[in-house]
Chain A
Amino acid sequence: AQSVTQPDIHITVSEGASLELRCNYSYGATPYLFWYVQSPGQGLQLLLKYFSGDTLVQGIKGFEAEFKRSQSSFNLRKPSVHWSDAAEYFCAVRSGGSYIPTFGRGTSLIVHP
């Protein structure tokens, strides 16, 4: 069975600083990987996805993520955080044989001015 671990429940950064949110997954074959963002009281919005090809993927809002098979990781990065990036971030993985993704527990990003 697939699983997703987001080791950081909360991350606090200063505006303008760089950001990296960690995501580790457990799945034997090449997974389909996703990062979503959720603002308070809203649904989830897809930031980026990976399923094949270049292991560094670009997403919306200046985010990128890198798939590292050897580390079973798919970490999300942004070079300079804006106050509007404060939100909950979810990593998700699904196998090729299922349409149901497994979500991590989420990381809450706090941005200080």
Chain B
Amino acid sequence: EADIYQTPRYLVIGTGKKITLECSQTMGHDKMYWYQQDPGMELHLIHYSYGVNSTEKGDLSSESTVSRIRTEHFPLTLESARPSHTSQYLCASSGRGLAGEQYFGPGTRLTVT
């Protein structure tokens, strides 16, 4: 059973606020990812990390930032939230298995008013 956690599950916040979405995994996976997904839509990769102190931007331009100071932790920060940031954010991780499949957290549903 994969163990990857995201908090909060739901967040409603006003424009201009700084927020951090938390993601942690207990599987010792070296690779972690953040996706943005609007309801019923495809996934867009916004950030990924191949290990501690390694972070890269994904395909979708995002005003968020990430850090990877510990293997198990990959938080995403929005310095100044805007209504256009309203979306679902999914965190995932993958290990050194042959297929390299990803394991996903339950997601954070963010609404910016």
* Interface pair B105/A105, CB less than 8 Å apart: no
Q: Which of A15-23, A38-46, A74-82 lies on the face that meets chain B? A: A38-46
* Interface pair B31/A99, CB less than 8 Å apart: yes
A-B pairs with beta carbons under 8 A, tally: 56
Q: Say whether B41 faces chain A, with CB atoms less than 8 Å apart.
A: yes
Q: Which of B58, B90, B101, B106 lies at the interface centre, i.e. has the most chain A CB atoms within 10 A of its CB?
A: B101
Interface size on A (CB < 8 Å)?
Answer: 24
| Distance A105 CA – B38 CA, assembled complex (angstroms) | 11
Q: A42-B106, A43-B105, A108-B40 are in contact. Are A100 and B99 (CB under 8 A)?
A: no
Residues on A with C-beta less than 8 A from B109 are 41
Q: Say whether B48 faces chain A, with CB atoms less than 8 Å apart.
A: yes
| Distance A34 CA – B102 CA, assembled complex (angstroms) | 9
| Distance A90 CA – B40 CA, assembled complex (angstroms) | 11
Residues on A with C-beta less than 8 A from B105 are 43
* Closest CB in chain B relative to A108 CB, distance in Å: 7
Q: A32-B99, A49-B99 are in contact. Are A43 and B50 (CB under 8 A)?
A: no
Partner of A44, one of B6, B45, B104: B104
Residues on A with C-beta less than 8 A from B45 are 100
* Interface pair B48/A100, CB less than 8 Å apart: yes
* Interface pair B103/A46, CB less than 8 Å apart: yes
| Distance A106 CA – B44 CA, assembled complex (angstroms) | 12
20 contacts between A and B (CB under 8 A): A32-B100, A34-B99, A42-B106, A43-B92, A43-B104, A43-B105, A43-B107, A44-B90, A45-B104, A46-B103, A51-B98, A90-B42, A99-B31, A99-B48, A99-B50, A99-B100, A100-B45, A103-B42, A103-B43, A108-B40
